[in-house]
Amino acid sequence: MSFNIASYIEHTILKQTTTLAEVDKVCVEASMENFVAVCVPPKYVLNAKKLLDGSRVKIATVIGFPLGYNVTDVKLREIDDALNMGADEVDMVHDLCALKNNNWKLLEDEIAACLKPVHDAGKVMKVILETGILTDSEIVKCCQLYSNFKIDYIKTSTGFADIGATVNAIKLIKANIPAKMGIKASGGIRNYAFAKELIDAGATRLGCSSSWQIMKEFRLATGG
């Protein structure tokens, strides 16, 4: 089967000023290109669901975004709302304050609590590490912790930190999680060459707001 980068892409719009018209555009483009998913702000999940009704494109949204320090009860409420509105996948920023305080027990308790309603509903959970502000040893320790839970994807970044996805971070994650766990690269993926580098390093999903440009470059590079 020939490689098609569209099957990796979550067409994403998460900027603070996102409008309904922009969400509509992202959904139409995702449907046209058969992207695996769209990733939209929680307030637009219902709109995306209506626009993509009957499509194979999944609806992803974000939890505890973008800073991660919401208390667990707030994240649980966000998850409940997202699932009730029809989200297929949730991308949750873990508690970076807990991490930097070396409070790994809090992170364990958080993921145990937040994963349950997602998997009970048969949906997908991604945990956003925000690798650009972590040391390599912190990334490894996160991978070791989350490997004890049946999360679906480790995700690199929110796109709001100064450093987004890197090849090094993808390789580090891949080396420290079970083979069955997915890896979502996100943040700063603006061209096909970099997107392909991340896939070659081990990424199984790409969160991109430049998806349309990436597809143009992909077709030029492959003749597709």
Report the pLDDT averaged over residues 59-74: 98
**Sequence spans of domains, the chain:** 5-222
pLDDT, position 2: 76
Predicted confidence at residue 223, as pLDDT, reads 83
pLDDT > 50? residue 79: yes
Q: What is the predicted pLDDT for the residue at 171?
A: 98
The reply to whether 91 belongs to the active site is yes
pTM: 0.97
**Catalytic entry in 58, 123, 126, 155:** 155
Q: What is the mean pLDDT of residues 184-195?
A: 98
Give residue-wise pLDDT tens across range 148-179: 999 999 999 999 999 999 999 999 999 999 99
Question: 150 catalytic, yes or no?
Answer: no
- From residue 110, give the alpha-carbon distance in Å to each of 103, 116, 118, 193, 213: 11, 10, 13, 36, 37
Mean pLDDT across the chain, nearest whole number? 97
- Would you say domain 5-222 falls under CATH 3.40.50.720? no
What mean pLDDT comes out for the span 190-219? 97
User: Given a cut of 90, is residue 146 above it in pLDDT?
Assistant: yes
Inform me whether the pLDDT recorded for 1 exceeds 80: no
One of 88, 91, 95, 152 is an active-site residue; which one?
A: 91
Which pair of tokens denotes residue 223?
């003749």
Q: Band of the pLDDT at 49, cuts 50, 70, 90?
A: very high
Residue 43 known to be catalytic: no
Which tens digit of pLDDT belongs to each residue from 118-135?
Answer: 999 999 999 999 999 999
| Residue 67 clears pLDDT 70, i.e. is over it | yes
